[in-house]
């Protein structure tokens, strides 16, 4: 797994051993960032200068990809210890400046600054997307108009939310659901 484009293009990212982390595939990540730059509802300004939240961060691949492509700042939210170790190593390897919060996306702290670009990639089949969206929204993590990029399993139910659905695409085992706050 590598950073696909931008400042850190080609940088290798590590993932913890075992099944606790399922990194977004390079192909799905490329497709997601292509949508963010080229979809009718998007544009480069979605990423350029963005304040990013990468919840259920795992390896941090999504947030680091955004930083590599011009996002201004990123906060990573992860609760698994092995994933946190890999995340911190990946941030250090990229020489990125980022905030790491060891915590649960369904019980988040209040943010220092709301995010304009959010990545939510909960474990497939765990039913965590709806509670995480509600908790992060309630805590003030979403700036008005923020783009929320979620990844679900193909069999996962799409939760009812107050957010506007901008796009819904399948990529192998992943389903990318893009919402707007």
Contact (CB, 8 A) for 130 and 137: no
Domain ranges of the chain: 48-180
Q: Which residues of 116-134 are buried (b: 16+ CB within 10 A; e: fewer)?
A: bbbbbbbbbeeebbebbbe
Q: What is the pLDDT of residues 60-113, one digit of tens each?
A: 999 999 999 999 999 999 999 999 999 999 999 999 999 999 999 999 999 999
What are the angstrom distances between the C-alpha of 148 and each of 13, 78, 89, 117, 120?
23, 17, 25, 6, 7
Contact (CB, 8 A) for 120 and 148: yes
Tell me, what's the pLDDT at 19? 65
Domain 48-180's class? alpha beta
DSSP-derived 3-state class of residue 97: coil
Tell me, what's the pLDDT at 136? 98
Strand ranges across the sheet with 115-120: 99-102, 73-78, 51-55, 115-120, 142-153, 174-180, 164-171
Percent of the residues in the chain that have a pLDDT greater than 90, as a whole number:
76
Farthest-apart Cα atoms in the chain, separation: 39
DSSP-derived 3-state class of residue 112: coil
Q: What mean pLDDT is predicted for residues 114-132?
A: 93
């Amino acid at each position: 797994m590598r950073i696909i484009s931008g400042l850190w293009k080609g940088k290798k990212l590590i993932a913890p051993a075992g099944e606790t982390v399922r990194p977004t595939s390079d192909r799905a990540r490329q497709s997601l960032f292509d949508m963010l730059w080229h979809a009718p509802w998007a544009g480069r300004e979605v990423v350029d200068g963005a304040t990013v939240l990468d919840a259920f961060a795992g390896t941090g691949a999504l947030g680091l990809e955004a930083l590599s492509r011009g996002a201004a700042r990123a906060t990573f939210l992860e609760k698994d210890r092995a994933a946190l170790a890999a995340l911190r190593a990946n941030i250090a390897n990229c020489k990125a400046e980022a905030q790491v919060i060891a915590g649960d996306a369904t019980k988040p702290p209040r943010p220092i600054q709301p995010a304009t670009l959010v990545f939510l990639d909960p474990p497939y089949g765990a039913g965590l997307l709806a509670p995480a969206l509600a908790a992060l929204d309630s805590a003030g993590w979403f700036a008005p108009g923020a783009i929320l990029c979620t990844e679900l399993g193909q069999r996962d139910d799409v939760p009812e939310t107050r957010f506007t659905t901008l796009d819904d695409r399948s990529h192998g085992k992943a389903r990318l659901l893009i919402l707007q706050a």
